[in-house]
Chain A
Amino acid sequence: MTGFGLTWSVVAISVPWLAAILTSVGRRQIRVIGFTAALVSALASALLLSAAPPRESLDEALMVLFSCLTLGAMLMVPRRDCTSGTIAGMLFVLGSTLLGYSAENLLVLLAAWFLTAIPFCLPQWFAARTWRPRAGLLLSGLTLALAIGLIAASGHGMSISTLRGQSPGGMAVLALLVAAVVFRKGICPAHAWVADAAHGGPAIPTALLLNGHFGALLVAKLVVPLFPYAARDLFPVLSYFALATALYVAIRALTENSPRRLLAFIALSQSACILAGLESRTTEGITGALVHLVVVTVSTMGLFGILRLLEVRFGENLNAGRHLGLAEHAPRLAVFFVVFGLALVGLPGTLSFCSQDLLIHGTLASHPLTGLLLPMATAMNAVSIFRLFTRLFLGKRRTGFTVMADALPRESLILATGVLFVVLGGLFPTAIIALQSAQAETVEQAMRVTHSIRSKGDMSRPALNASRICRRSD
């Protein structure tokens, strides 16, 4: 990393951490401090992105996305939740997540992995009421720590770039890394903690945790580059698990009546599709996965945010088992909800229509039979999200509310920004897709190099060129 990159990375990471300390101590103007810190972080990340070559800008793009997400979350957090603890925790998660994205060293990545999980394990911060989220996060951290420990024990260094293509530690390390992905991402059978975290923890910070997509990051950052040979054979297995998760969770969501759990299941199902796309070994599929990551992140954040706003206004015990008729009281929130919800599942005119198009195309091209699960899962998710919309917002009007329940200007502003992003991104997707496509080509090329080496037994000229590109990017 150049001096320029290092400086702005430090700014992007340290400012939220410092602001977290400030809000914990000062306890005044905490929303303003949180917003400013997230804004600085977003600007620093944007500078990093603008300076990075398009083909090597995945980490920087994720940094921009996550800092913008936190920026939006700062505006959306309802006043009831806007305590110094919440804001400090969210800023802490922001700094830690950006540290994970920008990590070039295994130990730094491990530290970020644990730091992002810590607030969700401490009862005074964002811990859920049940034990499974803590167990899921802890197990993912421990498996990653074990994997890194084994790499160190096998005499390798800790720099990710020097480890590329070396399969450090062999199959045991790969298995541990895959286990870390499974636990962190919530792949079946380790999926239950995600719903528990969403159900029993604070909605908006939990959405931030889930939208860090550390599982997918580990795949793109470690599994594929470090274990190119083994990944080629074993990666499809992870993809099948991801597709099975997408379908399992989509079926599970069909009868779920807790809005938070239901949203968590849909988010999980759509996130699992990202892994399947990354594994598709086609530029279309990988691009679709990366674009879908952006869509899932923005949409689920919007949906969880709206749900929290509804809980604050209409009570914490919202249940999708009956019709609540909230659209009469909050018509704009209803519109935002339906747009975010349908954008998550491929509504035409939104960015997810393009991402799903690419994702399904890539997955079907590489796995024609198992790839069919993807449109099936998406169709079921669409049914579930529409059911949630109808149950929350349609039906007989509830009486007894005297407060103005619709979105406040602050909330409208941020939700409208999110809606405009997914809609304009869908109408004019070229810029976003071109950026992600460049990054996808790098990932796909690394996989193709592996394939070429494996099939021919030596390095052909195109494979050598691709390999050089990969090494140059180090």
Chain B
Amino acid sequence: MDLLQATLVVVVLAPGVVFAVFGLLWLTGWVPSERVLSRVTGATFSSSVFGLAAIVGKLLWTRTPSVEVAFGNWFAVHNYHFPLVLMADRLSLPFLGMTVVLSGLIGQFSATYLHRERGFLRFFLLLHLFAFGSLVAFAAGSFDLLVGGWELVGITSVLLIAFFQQRTAPVENGLRVFVVYRACDIGLLVAVFAMHHWAGTASFAAGLPKLTGGQTVIACLLLLLAAAGKAAQVPFSEWLPRAMEGPTPSSAIFYGAISIHAGAYLLLRVQPMIAQSALVSGLVIATGVITAIHGTIVGRASADAKTSLAYASLTQVGVVLVEIGIGWKSIAIVHVLGHAMVRTLQFLRAPSMLHDYHMMRSASGGELSPTGKHLEDLFPKGMQLWLFRWALDRGHLDTILDRLVVHPLVRLSRAFATLDHIGLGQPMPRQREAAISGRSSAGVGGD
């Protein structure tokens, strides 16, 4: 392993090691001070930024397309093996850079923002675990490893939504987000197994697995399901306002920057496969267009700052998907980077948005023209009202998913419970709450 490879390994592993060390120390009863935590976080991500800069510099200098580190197989059974390959190429490096830069920034911001907050340690541990998961997902050289990072991002995201655990709404919304993540992740899991089954490998370090036309379509559709779930694309967008229950810094890094773009990364990674099928390309574009329109309409009717920012994010990610579907990979990458940076800044400024607005109004001489009014005026008055109602209920996506998926499942579960009670001679226990319907109101904004 040369220095470049070692640097990549250190960059990816560093947040994981910090998480493990502080987690174990906490279990033994030691609670680090806020200063220690923020300094370690700063040092970790600063050194990662320098490490990544060195990798980029070296790759540019030597005109090498990528750096790969192969650790062999994590485990192997018979013909099946789980390759452990880390890779930094032109696609993954921007995402790796974005992750370490924004994680470091959020770490520094949160040290002040969450000062003396209960759960300060928990936030930082989850931030490190999230960064580790993201780095693994973006630096993975195989879909197998990508699944590992992907799942870690999902679970940390959910735990941070439920960060303010004393209130019921964040906890219930976290559960709802978890449901959507797990449901959509089935697509990624099955796609990976399908690739193993058909191509004998799910590694993309030496090129994407070779599949036939039909196999490519199936694999891409499954991956699109996973990407749509993670990127909150229609019809899975309803989880995004619920995710705003978490603390603002985590909202910024997850739903303004990294987590929301993980789906786009996955699609960018398999873009050559997508390009092989007009059907899949069309579906990716259609998903992006519908989500962008949905996001912009619903965002205009959102009553709180974080939710409207979340829908603005959704709109942009929809546009990124359109770019991927068309085949504009480079534009999509630049778009993701620019959007992530701007949106993170907006999220972090969200708590002082009113103050900013007043400042801007004063600076402009007391009047600010409403944005997008010219677009709204294009629609007749009746349709504007209809759209407003539609936007207020967030496109009825919550209701549709509840009616089509959640309620039938809950009814089925209760029917099974009734069956199970036959012969017991005891009354059925009363079901107090729907299990996974997430009753609490969504999108009320976090602290």
List residues of A whose CB falls within 8 A of some B CB. 130, 132, 192, 195-196, 248, 251-258, 282-284, 287-288, 321-323, 325, 327-328, 332, 335, 342, 346-349, 353-354, 357-358, 360-361, 364-365, 368, 372, 375-376, 379-380, 382-384, 386-387, 390, 393-397, 412, 416, 429-430, 433, 437, 440-441
Contacts and interface: CB of A to CB of B under 8 A. Distances in A.
Contact of A257 (B133, B174, B426, B431): B431
Given A321-B432, A348-B151, A437-B77, A251 B420 contact: no
Given A353-B148, A396-B168, A322 B432 contact: yes
Nearest to B189: A375
Contacts of B431: 255, 257, 321
Interface stretch (B190-198, B233-241, B325-333): B190-198
B78 A284 contact: yes
B435 to A, nearest CB: 5
A358 B77 CA distance: 8
B386 interface: no
Contacts of A394: 162, 165, 171
Nearest to B20: A423
Contacts of A332: 27
Nearest to B185: A379
B417 A283 contact: no
Interface stretch (B62-70, B353-361, B406-414): B406-414
Contacts of B152: 348-349
Contacts of A322: 432-433
Given A348-B152, A358-B80, A251 B409 contact: yes
B175 A365 contact: no
Nearest to B81: A284
Interface stretch (B176-184, B207-215, B281-289): B176-184
Closest 6 CB pairs of A and B: A348-B148, A283-B78, A321-B432, A255-B413, A394-B165, A379-B182
Given A347-B151, A372-B190, 4 more contacts: A255-B434, A390-B175, A395-B171, A396-B168
B30 interface: no
A34 to B, nearest CB: 26
A348 B156 CA distance: 12
A462 to B, nearest CB: 15
Given A255-B410, A383-B182, A130 B424 contact: yes
B261 to A, nearest CB: 20
Given A254-B435, A325-B166, A357-B144, A386 B178 contact: yes
A440 to B, nearest CB: 8
A126 B175 CA distance: 35
B420 to A, nearest CB: 5
B155 A364 contact: no
Contact of A382 (B133, B182, B414): B182
B74 interface: yes
A323 B171 contact: yes
A360 B193 contact: yes
Contact of A342 (B155, B167, B193, B409): B155
B51 interface: no
B75 A395 contact: no
A338 B309 CA distance: 31
B227 interface: no
A169 B346 CA distance: 75
Interface in B134-183: 144, 147-149, 151-152, 155, 158, 162, 165-168, 171-172, 174-175, 178-179, 182-183
B21 interface: no
A375 B179 CA distance: 14
B186 interface: yes
Contacts of A253: 413
A188 to B, nearest CB: 10
Nearest to A376: B186
Contacts of A132: 423-424
B432 A248 contact: no
A206 B156 CA distance: 33
Interface centre among A130, A252, A382, A390 (most CB of B within 10 A): A390
Nearest to B132: A349
A403 B162 CA distance: 26
Nearest to B145: A348
A405 B182 CA distance: 32
A372 B186 CA distance: 9
B179 A348 contact: no
Contact of B166 (A357, A383, A395): A395
Contacts of B433: 321-322
7 contacts: A252-B413, A284-B80, A361-B197, A375-B190, A383-B178, A395-B168, A412-B27
